[in-house]
C-alpha cells in the first residue's frame, strides 16, 4: 500500500487547536470536520492516493488521529471525527471524497442549527430584566442570551474574566455586540456579584453519563457558590458535547496546560522553587447544576444519560484508528 499523504491544512488546523487559536468546543468540532474535508480534496488530488481507495481511507484516518491528538477534553472533537469518518464510503476515490465532503458539510450545518435551537430553549429560562453571569467563552451559552435578546428581553451580564487565558474578554465583546450591558469582574469577585445575578449560564466541553459537566476550570466553584446563593445555573451544550465513552465507565481526561499560562518564567524564578499546575477544566457534579440545555430541550443533569443512549447507543467507536 502507498504511504498516505497528509495535507498541510490538517497540520495547520491541528496546530491552531493545540495552541488555542481555534478554541471553544463547538468551534473546534467544526474546524476538525472542515479539515477532514480539506484532506479528502487533497488526497483525491495527490498522486499517492488519487487512484487508491485504501490509501485514501488511510490518509483520512491519519488526519483523524492528528486532529484527535490536539486536545483531550472536549468530546465535540472526536464526535466530529466520528460523524465524518463513519460516513466515509464508496468504491472509488471520487465517491469516497464526495462522502467525506458531504458529511463534513452536513455536520457543520447541523452544528449551527443545533446551537440556534438550544438558544431558543435556554432563552426561555431567562426573563425580561435578568442579569446573567458567564464563565469563559461559550458560543452555546451566548446563543441563549442572544435568543433572549431577540425575543425582546432586556438582559445584562456580569462576565467573569476567566484566568488564565481571559476568555471572558471575548464574551464581553460578543455581548456588547448584542447590545447587552456588561460588567467585567475578576474570577474571585464572582460570589460577591452573585447577589446581583438572576441566572448563571455556562457552556460545556464534555458531559458525562452521570450528568457531570466538564467545563472551563472554575465552573464547579461557581456552581457551588450559585447553589449557596440560590441562583439557578444552566449548562448550554449541544448534544455533540455528550461523551459516549462515559457510558461504559470511562472518565473524561482533564487537559493540563503549560504553566507559562499561569505565571511568566521570570516571575516564577523570582518566587523561588515552586510547583505550578494549570488544569484547563473541572467537573461540576450533577447536584450543583439545575439544567442542561440542548437542541433537544432541557434536561435535569441526572437524566442526560437517556438522551446519550438514544444518540450514541452503548458506546463509542474510533474510526480514525490504524487498521
Q: Which of 14, 26, 172, 305 binds ligand RI2 (CB under 6 A)?
A: 26
Stretch that binds ligand RI2, among 8-16, 139-147, 264-272, 314-322 (CB under 6 A): 139-147
Candidate list 117, 130, 136, 290, residue with the active-site label: 136
Positions 277 through 316 that interact with ligand RI2 (CB under 6 A): 280
Number of amino acids touching ligand RI2 (CB under 6 A) = 17
Candidate list 52, 205, 282, 290, residue with the active-site label: 205
**Which bin fits 272, alpha (ψ -120 to 50), beta or left (φ > 0)?**
left
Separation of alpha carbons 156 and 150, rounded Å: 14
Asked if residue 167 binds ligand RI2 (CB under 6 A), the reply is yes
Question: Half-sphere exposure of residue 167, counting CA atoms within 13 Å on the CB side?
Answer: 20
Stretch that binds ligand RI2, among 90-98, 105-113, 133-141, 144-152 (CB under 6 A): 133-141
Q: Which residue has the cell 450533577?
A: 286
Separation of alpha carbons 314 and 111, rounded Å: 23
Q: Which of 70, 131, 134, 139 binds ligand RI2 (CB under 6 A)?
A: 139
Cβ count near 306 (within 10 Å): 11
Separation of alpha carbons 103 and 99, rounded Å: 6
Nearer to ligand RI2, 122 or 203 (CB): 203
Examine the residue annotation and report whether 205 is marked as an active-site residue of this protein.
Answer: yes
Asked if residue 84 binds ligand RI2 (CB under 6 A), the reply is no
> Cell triple for residue 156?
445584562
Examine the residue annotation and report whether 144 is marked as an active-site residue of this protein.
Answer: no
Best CA proximity match to 214, nearest among 144, 304, 296: 304
Binding site for ligand RI2 (CB under 6 A): 23-27, 136, 138-141, 167, 203-205, 215-216, 280
Amino acid at each position: 500500500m502507498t504511504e498516505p499523504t497528509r495535507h498541510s491544512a490538517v497540520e495547520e488546523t491541528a496546530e491552531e487547536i493545540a495552541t488555542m487559536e481555534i478554541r471553544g468546543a463547538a468551534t473546534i468540532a467544526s474546524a476538525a470536520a472542515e479539515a477532514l474535508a480539506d484532506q479528502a480534496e487533497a488526497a483525491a488530488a495527490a498522486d499517492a492516493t488519487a487512484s487508491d481507495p485504501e490509501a485514501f481511507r488511510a490518509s483520512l484516518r491519519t488526519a483523524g488521529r492528528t486532529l484527535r491528538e490536539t486536545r483531550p477534553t472536549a468530546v465535540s472533537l472526536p464526535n466530529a471525527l466520528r460523524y465524518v469518518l463513519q460516513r466515509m464510503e464508496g468504491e472509488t476515490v471520487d465517491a469516497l471524497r464526495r462522502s467525506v465532503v458531504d458529511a463534513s458539510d452536513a455536520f457543520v450545518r447541523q452544528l449551527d442549527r443545533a446551537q440556534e435551537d438550544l438558544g431558543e430553549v435556554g432563552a426561555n429560562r431567562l426573563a425580561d430584566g435578568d442579569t446573567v453571569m458567564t464563565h469563559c467563552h461559550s458560543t452555546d451559552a451566548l446563543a441563549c442570551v442572544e435568543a433572549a435578546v431577540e425575543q425582546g428581553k432586556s438582559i445584562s451580564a456580569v462576565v467573569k474574566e476567566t484566568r488564565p487565558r481571559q476568555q471572558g474578554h471575548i464574551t464581553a465583546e460578543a455581548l456588547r455586540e448584542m447590545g447587552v450591558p456588561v460588567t467585567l469582574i475578576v474570577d474571585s469577585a464572582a460570589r460577591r456579584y452573585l447577589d446581583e445575578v438572576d441566572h448563571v449560564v455556562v457552556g460545556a466541553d464534555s458531559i458525562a453519563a452521570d450528568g457531570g459537566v466538564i467545563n472551563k476550570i472554575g465552573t464547579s466553584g461557581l456552581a457551588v457558590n450559585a447553589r449557596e446563593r440560590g441562583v439557578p445555573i444552566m449548562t448550554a451544550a449541544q448534544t455533540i458535547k455528550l461523551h459516549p465513552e462515559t457510558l461504559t465507565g470511562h472518565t473524561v481526561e482533564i487537559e493540563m496546560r503549560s504553566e507559562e499560562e499561569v505565571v511568566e518564567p521570570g516571575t516564577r524564578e523570582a518566587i523561588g522553587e515552586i510547583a505550578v499546575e494549570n488544569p484547563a477544566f473541572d467537573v461540576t457534579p450533577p447536584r450543583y447544576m439545575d439544567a442542561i440545555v440542548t437542541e433537544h430541550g432541557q434536561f435535569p443533569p441526572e437524566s442526560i444519560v437517556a438522551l446519550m443512549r438514544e444518540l450514541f447507543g452503548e458506546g463509542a467507536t474510533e474510526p480514525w484508528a490504524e487498521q
